[in-house]
């Protein structure tokens, strides 16, 4: 294989590598794009301060960190500043900084001299860019064109989600009907971009929409019958909007990904069986569909369960370290996550027969 053929074959990868290098260099030197002052830590020195009782008899050590940093942008660019950072060993609500870290700070100046420095936050844009580039590269390497279309669908879905929030805030339209509309658009956009315009895509879209509708109906009926008994909204106490509306919207959009995955997996599998054997009977297709559904059902439910539970790992660690029992955690702190996971699992199970029968109906019509 000569050089020109090799370049043509890997043209997309080469272009991506050049774009990635440019973005990395740009992000590592984008200080002037920010209005807030950024400093880079060049030296640290820490010392033990004291040990205090946090809660439930749990004691934690406190340290003071003397930080020396260089101002990277703004009027005082290039100046060296010194300030202190007090943090707890557990780093639950504060953190320890290391050489090379970049921080957003507020400078308090008097007579053109920096008197005090307050830490506002951590500059993370370069790490986010690296993760995004790694994600896109792996998608391109494994999925080729379909992988790029998947990334494109994610971008469109993010735009749709922002549009949902914006419309709800500006027009005061109910969050639940808006979530249904966005769920339908999500299904159409994502499945069409990934699988193209064909019968299996149509089957997956219809199955996804029906699955979301049924999961909402079941959840709504159960919640109304139990009058939200067993569900605690303490984690939403800072919200100004009704908890119930937001919670139901989370159920609709949270379970959509798993439902779409089940739908497209079954419809694609049945379509492949028909392509391989044009004379396959409906009974055999139905049996194969349920076998496929049973194989992927368990793994998808586990994925959904751990996805919801893992969102609260940081809080769970803090609660465990402070002596909160598992029973209290289940009832007081993670009841919302458990409810979302169980509701999503119901949606996955319901979507399997829906996908099978919708696919069979469409494929039978195609056969005729």
Instruction: Give the H/E segment covering residue 85.
Output: strand 80-88
Residues of the chain with pLDDT > 90: what percent? 4
The answer on pLDDT for 306 being more than 70 is yes
DSSP letter, residue 247: H
Residue 75 CA to residue 46 CA, distance in Å, equals: 29
DSSP letter, residue 332: I
Supply 268's token pair: 């694609």
The answer on pLDDT for 227 being more than 70 is no
The separation between CA 165 and the C-alpha centre of its own chain, rounded to angstroms, equals: 16
The answer on pLDDT for 239 being more than 60 is no
Supply 137's token pair: 């590269």
Domains delineated in the chain? 34-123 (no CATH), 174-367 (1.20.1640)
pLDDT at 289: 86
Lowest mean pLDDT among 129-138, 146-155, 240-249, 355-364: 240-249
Residues whose CB is less than 8 angstroms from the CB of residue 337 and which lie 6 or more positions away in sequence, other chains included? 308, 309, 311, 312
The answer on pLDDT for 121 being more than 60 is yes
The backbone torsions φ and ψ at residue 323, rounded to the nearest 5 degrees and listed phi first, read 80, 15
DSSP letter, residue 95: -
pLDDT at 14: 79
Banded model confidence at residue 137, pLDDT cuts 50, 70, 90: confident
Lowest mean pLDDT among 6-15, 70-79, 340-349: 6-15
Lowest mean pLDDT among 186-200, 265-279, 325-339, 348-362: 325-339
Scanning the chain, the segments in alpha helix (DSSP H) are 3-9, 11-27, 125-171, 175-195, 199-226, 243-254, 256-276, 282-310, 313-321, 326-328, 335-367
Q: Give the 3-state secondary structure of residue 58.
A: strand
Supply 314's token pair: 């940081």
pLDDT at 254: 76
pLDDT at 40: 92
Top mean pLDDT of 10-14, 31-35, 309-313 is at 31-35
pLDDT at 92: 66
Supply 166's token pair: 């914006």
Q: Which of 366, 291, 367, 305 is nearest to 340 (CA)?
A: 305
The answer on pLDDT for 32 being more than 80 is yes
Supply 17's token pair: 């590598």
Supply 128's token pair: 């986010």
Task: Compute CA distances 345 → 7, 167, 243, 254, 352, whole Å.
Answer: 47, 30, 22, 11, 11
- C-beta of residue 296 within 8 angstroms of C-beta of residue 289: no
Count CA within 13 A, CB hemisphere, residue 148. 7
Residue 340 CA to residue 239 CA, distance in Å, equals: 18
Residues of the chain with pLDDT > 70: what percent? 79
Q: What is the pTM of this model?
A: 0.65
Region 228-256 average pLDDT: 65
Lowest mean pLDDT among 78-82, 148-152, 235-239, 251-255: 235-239
Question: How many C-beta neighbours within 10 Å does residue 127 have?
Answer: 11
Region 116-141 average pLDDT: 86
DSSP letter, residue 72: -
The answer on pLDDT for 316 being more than 60 is yes
Q: Which of 97, 67, 93 is nearest to 80 (CA)?
A: 67
pLDDT at 140: 78
- C-beta of residue 39 within 8 angstroms of C-beta of residue 72: yes
Q: Which residue reads 């494109």 in tokens?
A: 152
Lowest mean pLDDT among 50-59, 93-102, 269-278: 50-59
| C-alpha triplet 99, 105, 106: angle, nearest 5° | 150
Q: For all residues of the chain together, what is the average pLDDT?
A: 79
Count CA within 13 A, CB hemisphere, residue 132. 16
Banded model confidence at residue 224, pLDDT cuts 50, 70, 90: confident
Residues whose CB is less than 8 angstroms from the CB of residue 55 and which lie 6 or more positions away in sequence, other chains included? 322, 323
DSSP-assigned beta bridge partners for residue 62:
50, 88
């Amino acid at each position: 294989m000569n050089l020109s053929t090799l370049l043509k074959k890997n043209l997309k990868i080469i272009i991506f590598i050049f774009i990635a290098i440019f973005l990395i260099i740009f992000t590592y030197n984008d200080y002037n794009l920010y209005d807030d002052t950024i400093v880079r830590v060049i030296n640290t020195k820490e010392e033990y301060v004291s040990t205090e009782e946090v809660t439930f008899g749990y004691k934690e050590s406190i340290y003071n960190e003397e930080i020396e940093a260089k101002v990277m942008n703004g009027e005082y660019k290039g100046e060296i500043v010194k300030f202190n950072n007090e943090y707890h060993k557990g780093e639950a609500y504060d953190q320890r900084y290391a050489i090379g870290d970049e921080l957003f700070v507020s400078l308090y100046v008097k007579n053109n001299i920096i008197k005090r420095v307050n830490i506002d936050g951590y500059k993370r844009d370069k790490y986010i860019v690296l993760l995004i580039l790694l994600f896109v590269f792996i998608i391109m390497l494994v999925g080729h064109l379909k992988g790029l279309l998947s990334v494109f669908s994610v971008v469109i879905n993010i735009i749709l989600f922002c549009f949902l929030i914006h419309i709800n805030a500006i027009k005061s339209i109910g969050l639940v009907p808006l979530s249904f509309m966005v769920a339908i658009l999500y299904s159409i956009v994502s499945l069409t971009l990934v699988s193209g315009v064909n019968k299996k895509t149509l089957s997956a879209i219809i199955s996804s929409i029906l699955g979301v509708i049924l999961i909402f109906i079941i959840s709504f009926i159960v919640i109304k019958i139990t009058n939200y008994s067993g569900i605690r909204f303490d984690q939403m106490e800072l919200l100004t909007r009704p908890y119930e509306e937001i919670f139901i919207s989370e159920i609709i959009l949270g379970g959509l990904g798993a439902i779409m995955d089940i739908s497209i997996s079954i419809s694609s599998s049945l379509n492949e069986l028909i392509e391989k054997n044009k004379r396959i009977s409906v009974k055999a297709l139905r049996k194969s569909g349920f076998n496929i559904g049973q194989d992927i059902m368990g793994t998808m439910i586990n994925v959904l369960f751990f996805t919801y539970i893992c969102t609260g790992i940081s809080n769970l660690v803090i609660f465990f370290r402070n002596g909160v029992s598992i029973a209290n955690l289940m009832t007081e702190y993670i009841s919302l996550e458990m409810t979302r996971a169980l509701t999503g699992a119901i949606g996955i199970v319901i979507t399997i027969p829906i996908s099978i029968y919708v696919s069979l109906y469409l494929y039978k019509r195609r056969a005729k």
